[in-house]
Amino acid sequence: MDWAYLFEISLTGIASGGLYALAALAFVMVYKATKVVNIAIGEMLMIGAYLFFTFAVTFAFPLWLAVPAAVLAAGLLGAVIERSMIRPLLGEPPISVFMVMVGLSSVLVGLVELIWTADQRRLPDFVSNTPIMIGDAFLAPKVFYGALVAVVLIAVVLLVFRYWRGGVALRATASDPAAAYSMGINVPRVFSLTWVASAMIAAVSGIIVGSIGGISSSMGVFGLSVLVVVIVGGLDSVLGALVGGLLIGLVEALAGAFLGGEYKLLVTFIVLVLVLMIRPYGLFGTHEIERL
């Protein structure tokens, strides 16, 4: 066993796990507030990346302008999605909402292919190419900086959840919408805000993922791994999203390195099935108590 190699692989895995955690956070936020399983999360990442591509390449905006522009546009999209698809389906069975998200992901993929064609594109480089060395281990700079941004963003989101009034309102809505409403919290606005924030976070992770691996209309596959992450962690657990993200990132990297690339998805899905067999609500998810 080559320990240096193992260390290097694990490091890459943890770094990409940070990206999973960020996208999973966007997912969990929406699930907590509106109980929607956002299976279109991968496609929302993709839209964010393509918006960034448009602003940065087509309109040739500088980086400091292109990123906020893309994030704001993605937020607008989030608001539109919430208003046009999620709100009308409030109280419908979860499977209906789930299928609406499936439909949404199909629409988004089709739109991307219509507007930007299905060709693979590259996002402009905006980090230096000097490799990052941690001890003796080499880490690709894009992955490193991506993970760094992810960690900072996750920390900011967690702090906002904890201390900002809006964050408190969100947690109140998540635990009991009716009680929150009677306490004067504008629940519909919380729903909208959550979707906007989630779409923005998704856009940021889309920009990072896109700058690492390029963007294409099949980028939504990333969403499948995110789905595994949130299921393993527990759909409504922020902690679960973080732990699950790191775990799946690590497992994927190790499987890719020691078994081969085609085993990546297989191993993550086997982990998923095992976790579900032992803990049906994920590692940290709330165990729903059913009453008749």
Partner 1 sequence: MRIGTLKETYIADAALFDSRTQQVWLAVGAALLLLFPFMASDYWLYLACLVSINVASATGLNILTGYTGLVSLGQAAFMGLGAYTVALLELRVGSPFLLNLLAGGFVAMLGGLIVGIPSLRVKGLYLAIATIAASFIAHFLFANTAFTGGTGGLTVPPAKLFGVPLDTSFRLYWVIVPATVLMLLGGANLFRTRVGRAFIAIRDRDISAEVLGIPLLRYKLLSFGLSSFYAGVAGGLWAYFFRVVTPESFPLSMSIFFLAAIIVGGMGSILGGILGAVFMTMVPELLKLGVALLPRGTELTVFLSPVRTVLFGLLIIGFLVFEPHGLAEVWRRIRRFFHLWPFRN
User: In the set 90, 102, 152, 183, which binds partner 1 (CB under 8 A)?
Assistant: 102
Tell which positions 56-85 bind partner 1, by CB under 8 A: 85
Assign residue 214 a region (left: φ > 0; alpha: ψ between -120 and 50; beta: otherwise): left
CA angle 78, 83, 88 (to 5 degrees): 135
- Asked if residue 90 binds partner 1 (CB under 8 A), the reply is no
User: In the set 68, 94, 124, 214, which binds partner 1 (CB under 8 A)?
Assistant: 94
What lies within 8 Å, CB to CB, of 198 at 6+ separation is 26, 27, 29, 30, 38, 44, 78
Phi, psi of 134, rounded to the nearest 5 degrees = -115, 110
Q: Which is nearer to partner 1, 179 or 221 (CB)?
A: 221
- Asked if residue 109 binds partner 1 (CB under 8 A), the reply is yes
Q: Which is nearer to partner 1, 146 or 240 (CB)?
A: 240
Write the CA distances from 197 to 72, 80, 153, integer angstroms.
10, 13, 12
Q: How far is the CB of 256 from partner 1 (least distance, A)?
A: 14
| Part of the chain binding partner 1 (CB under 8 A), chosen from 46-54, 113-121, 195-203, 205-213 | 113-121
- Asked if residue 286 binds partner 1 (CB under 8 A), the reply is no
- Asked if residue 269 binds partner 1 (CB under 8 A), the reply is yes
> Residue for token digits 């893309």?
70
- Asked if residue 128 binds partner 1 (CB under 8 A), the reply is no
- Asked if residue 276 binds partner 1 (CB under 8 A), the reply is yes
Q: Which is nearer to partner 1, 131 or 261 (CB)?
A: 261
Sign of the C-alpha dihedral computed for residues 54, 56, 58 and 60 taken in this order: positive
Rounded CA-CA distance 28/109 in Å is: 22
User: In the set 6, 7, 76, 98, which binds partner 1 (CB under 8 A)?
Assistant: 98
Q: Which is nearer to partner 1, 134 or 266 (CB)?
A: 266
- Asked if residue 106 binds partner 1 (CB under 8 A), the reply is yes
Cβ pair 263, 255 in contact under 8 A: yes
Rounded CA-CA distance 37/21 in Å is: 16
- Asked if residue 277 binds partner 1 (CB under 8 A), the reply is yes
Total residues contacting partner 1 by CB under 8 A comes to: 45
Write the CA distances from 97 to 34, 108, 123, 250, integer angstroms.
10, 16, 33, 31
- Asked if residue 258 binds partner 1 (CB under 8 A), the reply is no
Q: How far is the CB of 210 from partner 1 (least distance, A)?
A: 19
Single out the residue of 228, 231, 246 nearest to residue 283, CA to CA.
Answer: 231
- Asked if residue 47 binds partner 1 (CB under 8 A), the reply is no
User: In the set 57, 72, 148, 224, which binds partner 1 (CB under 8 A)?
Assistant: 224
Rounded CA-CA distance 56/77 in Å is: 19
Contact residues: partner 1, CB under 8 A: 37, 85, 88-89, 92, 94-96, 98-100, 102-114, 118, 224, 227-228, 231, 235, 262-263, 265-266, 269-270, 272-273, 276-277, 280-282, 290, 292
